[in-house]
């Protein structure tokens, strides 16, 4: 089926070329990072994880989100999601590819990476994260590819796919839970040290992930005439809305616990993020942007009239994605490491090089996604499920 990715119009090829260009440019910077070390980043002794790991955390959510389509489809026989299942699975593949990419660029000695496998350490959550992420990648590659191939052959997917699909549903929850455990199990990091961190991760994944998926599907619909159907879009939007409500609710629980208890450690990070402390206010405008965007997106999603308005929907989703990205792809990491164990503030901001390398990983994900979606939509077109765009 891969040959489908090699045939395409000029638009397709210029997009691919554009992505390759970004990957190439980012790679040059990455080589520079390999030569000089992570000193090219804005990281420090106090804020030892930053933009890379934050992107990794955010994208694990995107990977897990496909389950919001696969679960209703397999567990509740919600047939309207049939056209989207493969899109969710392929999105998961691209997301995990980016997750692994971000881990690799964050490691100080990448050539020793396999030490995690050579010296398995079950007491480290990172060990389990490696297992669940790679397992999830494998599951989605096998399931997605087999389903698409059988669709192309116009036969029913083989029987063994079902148990695998069920496994992948449970597995999707595990990848985000384990990633939350990376943070939630650390003493002295109060912003992360909360029992509902895994629940918060899942809630934000289940709103942000499908929102990104839906946006990508809208673009795909524009360029290929692939259409998941109105009913499917409406249902997924409802799921996004509920997940976002839960996400915001969970965050407010954290705020209550911190400020009503008034325990200093618990309030410090939140105070630093939302009002600044010791005269440092770098993240304050970001946090309030996220807050405002979150509430506007909810205002556009909660009333059924506005939610079903296809013109407004993309905007609501974009606001939601920005809000959740600021919360999880930026503030969660910085807030967790600030203030440091000495109750002092060391500021962190990603450098240009860090951003370039991040662009490379994102472009790599986009390339993976483009190729997979190209194959999927071409096959659907061959099957007569799509009409050619004029």
Partner 1 sequence: MKQSRRNFLKFAGLSAAGLCLAPTAAALASGGGGHGKAHAVVNANSKHAKRWAMVIDTRKLNTDEAINALAEVCHHIHNVPTIPGKQDIKWLWEGTYSETFPNQTNNFPSEELEKRKFPLLCNHCETPSCVRVCPTKATFKRADGIVAMDYHRCIGCRYCMAACPFGARSFNFMDPRLHLDMEKINVKFPTRMRGVVEKCNFCVERLAVGEMPACVEKSSGAMTFGDLQDPDSNVRKVLRENFTIRRNPAAGTEPGVYYII
Binding span for partner 1 by CB under 8 A among 184-192, 295-303, 309-317, 358-366: 184-192
Which of 126-134, 169-177, 201-209, 284-292 is the region at the interface with partner 1 (rule: CB under 8 A)? 126-134
**Does position 112 bind partner 1 by CB under 8 A?**
yes
Number of residues this chain uses to bind partner 1 (CB under 8 A)? 45
Q: Rounded to the nearest whole angstrom, what is the least distance from the CB of residue 27 to partner 1 in the complex?
A: 19
Least separation in angstroms between CB 322 and partner 1 = 26
* 199-258 positions binding partner 1, by CB under 8 A: none
- Residue number with CB closer to partner 1 (344 or 382): 344
Q: Residue 256 has which token pair?
A: 């209550």
Write down the least CB distance from residue 219 to partner 1, Å.
35
Residue owning tokens 């994260």: 129
- As given in the structure block, the two tokens for residue 43 are 């990281």
Does residue number 262 form part of the binding site for partner 1 (CB under 8 A)?
Answer: no
Among positions 48, 261, 309, 310, the unique one binding partner 1 when judged by CB under 8 A = 48
Q: Binding mask 4-43 vs partner 1 (x if CB under 8 A, - otherwise)?
A: --------------------------------xxxx-x-x
Contact of 22 with 359, CB cutoff 8 Å: yes
Exposed/middle/buried for 131, CB within 10 Å: 0-12, 13-18, 19+? middle
Token pair in block for residue 134:
């790679």
Residues that bind partner 1 (CB under 8 A): 36-39, 41, 43-46, 48-49, 106-110, 112-113, 115-116, 119, 121, 123-127, 130, 182-183, 185-189, 264-265, 336-337, 340-344, 346
């Amino acid at each position: 089926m891969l040959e489908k990715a090699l045939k395409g119009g000029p638009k397709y090829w210029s997009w691919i070329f554009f992505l390759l260009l970004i990957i190439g440019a980012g790679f040059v910077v990455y080589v520079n990072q390999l030569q000089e070390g992570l000193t090219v980043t804005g990281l420090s002794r106090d804020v030892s994880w930053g933009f890379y790991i934050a992107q990794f955390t955010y994208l694990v959510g995107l990977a897990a989100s496909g389950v919001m389509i696969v679960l209703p489809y397999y567990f509740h026989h919600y047939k309207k999601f049939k056209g989207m299942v493969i899109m969710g699975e392929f999105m998961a593949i691209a997301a995990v590819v980016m997750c692994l990419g971000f881990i690799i660029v964050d490691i100080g000695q990448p050539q020793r990476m396999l030490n995690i496998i050579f010296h398995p350490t079950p007491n480290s959550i990172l060990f389990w994260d490696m297992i669940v992420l790679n397992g999830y990648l494998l599951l989605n590659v096998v399931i997605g590819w087999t389903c698409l191939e059988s669709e192309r052959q116009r036969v029913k997917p083989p029987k063994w796919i079902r148990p695998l699909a069920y496994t992948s549903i449970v597995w999707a929850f595990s990848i985000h839970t384990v990633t939350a455990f990376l943070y939630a199990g650390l003493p002295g990091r109060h912003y992360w040290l909360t029992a509902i961190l895994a629940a918060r991760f899942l809630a934000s994944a289940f709103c942000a992930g499908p929102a990104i998926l839906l946006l990508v599907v809208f673009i795909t619909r524009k360029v290929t005439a692939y259409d998941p159907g109105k009913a499917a879009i409406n249902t997924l939007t409802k799921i996004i809305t509920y997940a976002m409500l839960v996400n915001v609710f969970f965050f407010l629980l954290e705020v209550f616990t911190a400020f009503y208890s008034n325990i200093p450690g618990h309030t410090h990070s939140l105070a630093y993020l939302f009002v600044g402390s010791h005269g440092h206010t770098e993240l304050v405008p970001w946090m309030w942007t996220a807050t405002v965007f979150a509430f506007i997106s909810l205002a556009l999603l909660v009333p059924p009239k506005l939610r079903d308005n296809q013109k407004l929907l993309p905007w609501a989703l974009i606001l939601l994605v920005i809000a959740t990205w600021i919360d999880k792809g930026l503030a969660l990491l910085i807030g967790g490491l600030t203030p440091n164990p000495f109750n002092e503030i060391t500021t962190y901001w990603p450098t240009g090089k860090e951003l370039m390398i991040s662009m490379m990983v994102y472009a790599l994900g986009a390339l993976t996604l483009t190729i997979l979606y190209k194959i999927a939509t071409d096959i659907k077109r061959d099957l007569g499920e799509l009409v050619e765009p004029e």
